[in-house]
Amino acid sequence: MLDKIVKLTKSVNRRVGKDVYYKHIITIPNKFLKELGWNEKTKLNMKTERKKLVIEKE
């Protein structure tokens, strides 16, 4: 079951004056990337469906 866990992290992207902008990163286990044939250069599209995030290869 642990191989199905993905993590969402939040970090500061930039600061402009008093405003702080964040970016969110989803960490996907290598097992899934190999199965999908994705790598760091793969272009992806995202959409939401019924409160789920769907990520597909472009």
Span 1-58, pLDDT tens digits: 556 778 899 999 999 999 999 999 999 888 899 999 999 999 999 999 999 999 999 9
Q: How many domains does the chain have?
A: 1
Say what the pLDDT of residue 5 is. 79
Instruction: Please say whether the beta carbons of 4 and 27 come within 8 A.
Output: no
49 lies in which domain range?
Answer: 2-57
Structure tokens given for 29: 């286990």
Give Cα separations from 50 to 14, 26, 28, 34 (angstroms): 31, 19, 21, 27
Does this model's pTM top 0.85? no
Residue 17 and residue 20: Cα distance in Å, rounded? 8
